[in-house]
Amino acid sequence: MFTPHPARSPVANAGYQRVFKPGKLTLGMFFPIEAFDSDMPSMHNQVALAQQAERAGFASLAFRDVPLRDPHFGDSGQVFDVWTYLGYIAGQTREIALLTASVVLPLRHPIHVAKAAASVDQLCGGRFLMGVASGDRPVEFPAFGVDFDTRGATFRETMELLKIYWGNYFPHVESRFGHLAGADVIPKPLASHVPLLVTGHSQQDLGWIAANADGWITYPRALASQEQVVRHWREAVAALAPGQYKPLVQSYFIDLADDPHAPQTPIHLGHRQGRHALSAYLRALTAIGVDHLVLNLKYGKRPAVEVLQELAEFVVAEFA
């Protein structure tokens, strides 16, 4: 906890190993694990549902960082603070990876982020994967006294500082956030750094992400378009991080129909469909090179426990 491990790759961490398997698609599940209207999930029975997802073979549970309620945005994440809820769920699961999608770096001091993330990493035995983002909700930035228009630069600097705090012993740091000398940020993570996955472009070009992140989280698109996005990502990684495997993660809203043969029809950032169409879609994502798909049940019509049962019995095993 007190000694940095600059030579130890986070690729060996338990969470990374569970989620990312080159050439194979794995599945995750967003909190809240329920269907709900507006921006007000019930958050009932989430521990039991998380444990059910873990038993079913899901590779990850995904957490949102939504500090303020903005009714116009229509999404409050899992309501509870991301770090508090990570600790709560980590203590009641054993093997499933814990993924943030994503921590909004410009809204947080990098020392607080470094300490919180390394604490979760240590306490959950390396199951933590930290998705990070620059933020896309303008209402949040003035509340924190942060400039929205320069969030991209703030994001880049925070990413750099996190790696300095995690990978060095008593570093001397001068930054826009303050002066650090004669003190250290502890605990240190289990590896050189906590695995970092950039969400969207976060005001960066793809080359910067390929060079500086451990992976990329992007959004659903038509398969032909997503295939091009995956190809561009692989090309960027090959050019800027040669010889390294850096995974691509996609989010996906799903309304699983009662009828297993129901065809695929579009919903916001996803589809309504039966399990046969879903399995076909997952195979198509595998073929184009998506590494991990995180499902979101918000727009569903069935109880989450039923959806998890059906996915466990008929879908997840193929992709576990």
pLDDT at 78 over 90: yes
Task: Give the residue-averaged pLDDT of 41-59.
Answer: 98
Q: Looking at the domain assignment, is residue 212 inside a domain? A: yes
Q: What is the CATH number of the domain that holds 114?
A: 3.20.20.30
Q: Looking at the domain assignment, is residue 1 inside a domain? A: no
pLDDT tens digits, one per residue of 279-296: 999 999 999 999 999 999
Query: In the chain, what percentage of residues exceed pLDDT 90?
Result: 97
- What is the three-class DSSP state of 270? strand
Task: Give the residue-averaged pLDDT of 13-20.
Answer: 98
Give the pLDDT band of residue 10 (cuts 50, 70, 90).
Answer: very high
Give 11-76 as a 3 state SS string. HHCHHHHHHCECCECEEEEECCCCCCCCCCCCCCCHHHHHHHHHHHCCCEEEECCCCCCCCCCCCC
pLDDT at 320 over 80: no
Cis bond before residue 260 (omega within 30° of 0): no
Q: Looking at the domain assignment, is residue 76 inside a domain? A: yes
Q: Looking at the domain assignment, is residue 259 inside a domain? A: yes
Please tell me the total count of domains within the chain: 1
What domain range is 254 assigned to? 10-319
pLDDT at 126 (0 to 100): 98
Q: Looking at the domain assignment, is residue 5 inside a domain? A: no
